[in-house]
């Protein structure tokens, strides 16, 4: 090779004295060389993190972003303390999984909540209590113990008069109104 390598990455192994195992063997530190310039490890991790975070915007999966955040954290930690490459990769994988578990758990839909846009089949059979009476000619209001279609209270209609405080169940959804009957 003539030494001119445009637009290519070359992985070089540099022997360092700072990382010795108990047996006295030397570990190798891997650095990326781009067109003859050594990039610091922390910068590589942060660039990788930013690329992964931007990729999340292009491919909205709410999955890639955790690997990007973890890569940025590893890069920031490398500004403070130098780690061997194998430890950096293990730390990145562990942080990725931790962020994935924490954020998915925090932002995942709550169990038991019926989200807006759910088919009416999921709503039919839900039980609530009337907070205002309902008659065939007058709408009432029903309150559910857990949100149904994004709200705890819904206007309702019924084929027969039902008084306030009575437990009712949903038998149909008619647009923005639920049809109920006594339990």
pLDDT of residue 110: 56
Backbone angles phi, psi at 131, to 5 degrees: -100, -15
Dihedral sign of CA atoms 131, 132, 133, 139 in order: negative
Other CB atoms within 10 Å distance of the CB of residue 134: 25
pLDDT of residue 117: 52
The string of pLDDT tens digits covering residues 62-118 is 788 899 999 999 999 999 999 899 999 999 999 999 998 888 776 665 555 544 555
Q: Is the pLDDT of residue 122 over 80?
A: no
Residue 166 sits at the vertex; the CA angle it makes with 162 and 167, to the nearest 5 degrees, is 115
Confidence of residue 140 (pLDDT cuts 50, 70, 90): very high
The string of pLDDT tens digits covering residues 8-58 is 344 444 444 444 444 444 444 444 444 345 789 999 999 999 999 998 888
Is the domain 120-182 a CATH 1.10.3720.10 member? no
Residue 22 Cα distances to 64, 80, 88, angstroms? 37, 24, 20
Provide the whole-model pTM: 0.45
**Top-confidence residue, 162 or 22:** 162
**Domain limits, CATH 2.40.50.140, in the chain:** 120-182
């Amino acid at each position: 090779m003539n030494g001119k390598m445009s637009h290519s990455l070359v992985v070089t192994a540099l022997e360092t004295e700072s990382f010795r195992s108990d047996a006295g063997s030397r570990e190798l530190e891997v650095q990326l060389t781009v067109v003859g310039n050594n990039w610091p490890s922390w910068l590589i991790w942060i660039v990788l993190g930013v690329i992964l975070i931007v990729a999340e915007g292009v491919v909205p999966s709410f999955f890639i972003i955790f690997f990007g955040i973890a890569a940025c954290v590893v890069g920031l930690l490398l500004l403070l303390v130098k780690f061997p490459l194998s430890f950096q990769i293990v730390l990145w994988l562990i942080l990725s999984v931790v962020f994935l578990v924490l954020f998915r758990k925090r932002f995942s839909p709550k169990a038991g909540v019926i989200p807006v846009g759910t088919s009416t089949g999921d709503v039919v059979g839900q039980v609530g209590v009337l907070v205002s009476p309902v008659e065939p000619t007058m709408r009432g209001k029903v309150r559910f113990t857990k949100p149904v279609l994004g709200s705890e209270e819904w206007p309702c209609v019924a084929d027969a008069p039902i008084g306030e405080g009575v437990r009712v169940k949903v038998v149909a959804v008619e647009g923005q109104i639920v049809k109920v009957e006594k339990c």
